[in-house]
């Protein structure tokens, strides 16, 4: 198994698209460079912001090949390889491993309701077929399935390859339980916040960072939350954490990943829209986003 430390701010990099909705690999490479220059600590294709839910398997291979090639080992690459069935997830995970991913981020199955035993068995079986560290990905609002803290702890204890968990539930008590339930393990286990507003609380509690969609827009700002925390500059980290609240406030107008991609496009990067039908932002939302982006640019946020 590769030895990878899952620390810092990992960007669930958006997938740039051309006007015909084909993947724009040239701009993907540009975004990788922009994010690494901005100080992010990892690149994560096929998170929610990467629209992994709507890309074909061939497109995923193309995106992952380009991302890994462009990163060139400067930061870890996390590949979102989770699909609905165990069989399909094994196939995609093996492909991501062959392409050179450093970490596999495996989201829970979706649509059909799964018991905790079914989820446990799902991850145990996947781990038998790969040799790359696995991060469990909990986002019940999107999948309909929640990984309970006790299931996380059991998987972490029983499966060597399972080295971390990302909680995108937005439930602070759940995220905190992930940390406390895995604190006494006889191995390093990394808990990452999937909610950008909880990055600093997660770090204070003993987590190790965040997979932060907003870092597509403000890579330097989000990365500095972690960096300031590590330097012991907690008051400064608090100020930076709070600075993204106005941008997150625009999420009420549409899908967060739609808002994030629209924001990056409005900053002047040709990333296109999200793939239809998930690409609408009302006029009020566009106006609010434009206002926040200008205010934050005037503050020097990058």
Catalytic residue among 78, 120, 123, 137: 137
Catalytic residue among 166, 176, 261, 262: 166
72 is known as an active-site residue: no
Cβ-based neighbours of 21, under 8 Å, separated by 6 or more: 272, 275, 276
Helix/strand/coil percent split, the chain, to 5: 50, 10, 35
Helix (H) or strand (E) holding 35: helix 25-37
Q: Interior CA angle at 85 toward 193 and 142, to 5°?
A: 40
137 is known as an active-site residue: yes
Distance in angstroms (rounded) separating the CA atoms of residues 263 and 259: 6
Q: Could you write out the DSSP letters of every residue in 84-123?
A: SSHHHHHHHHHHHHHHT-SEEEEEPP-SS---HHHHHHHH
Please name the residue ranges forming H helices in 146-250: 149-158, 172-181, 199-205, 219-230, 234-243, 245-248
Instruction: Give the residue numbers marked as catalytic.
Output: 137, 166
């Amino acid at each position: 198994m590769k030895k990878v430390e899952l620390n810092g701010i990992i960007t669930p990099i958006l997938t740039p698209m051309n006007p015909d909705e084909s993947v724009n690999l040239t701009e993907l490479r540009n975004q990788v460079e922009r994010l690494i220059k901005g100080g992010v600590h990892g690149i994560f294709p096929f998170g929610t912001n990467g629209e992994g839910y709507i890309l074909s398997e061939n497109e995923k291979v193309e995106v992952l090949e380009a991302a890994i090639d462009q990163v060139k080992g400067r930061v870890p690459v996390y590949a979102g390889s989770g699909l609905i069935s165990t069989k399909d997830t094994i196939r995609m995970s093996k492909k991501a491993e062959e392409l050179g991913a450093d970490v596999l981020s495996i989201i829970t199955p979706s649509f059909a309701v799964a018991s905790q035993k079914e989820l446990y068995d799902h991850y145990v079986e996947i781990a038998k077929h790969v040799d790359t560290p696995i991060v469990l990905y909990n986002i019940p609002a999107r999948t309909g399935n929640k990984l309970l803290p006790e299931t996380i702890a059991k998987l972490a204890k029983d499966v060597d390859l399972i080295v971390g968990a990302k909680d995108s539930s937005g439930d602070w008590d759940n995220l905190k339980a992930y940390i406390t339930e895995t604190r006494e393990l006889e191995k390093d286990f990394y808990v990452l916040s999937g909610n950008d507003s909880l990055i600093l609380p997660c770090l204070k509690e003993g987590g190790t960072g965040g997979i932060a969609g907003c870092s597509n827009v403000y890579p330097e700002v989000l990365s500095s939350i972690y960096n300031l925390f590590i330097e012991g500059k907690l008051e400064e980290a608090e100020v930076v954490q709070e600075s993204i609240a106005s941008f997150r406030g625009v999420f009420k107008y549409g899908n967060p990943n739609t808002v994030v991609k629209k924001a990056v496009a409005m900053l002047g990067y040709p990333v296109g829209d999200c793939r239809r039908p998930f690409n609408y932002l009302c006029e009020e939302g566009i106006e609010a986003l434009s206002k926040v982006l200008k205010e934050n640019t005037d503050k020097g946020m990058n």
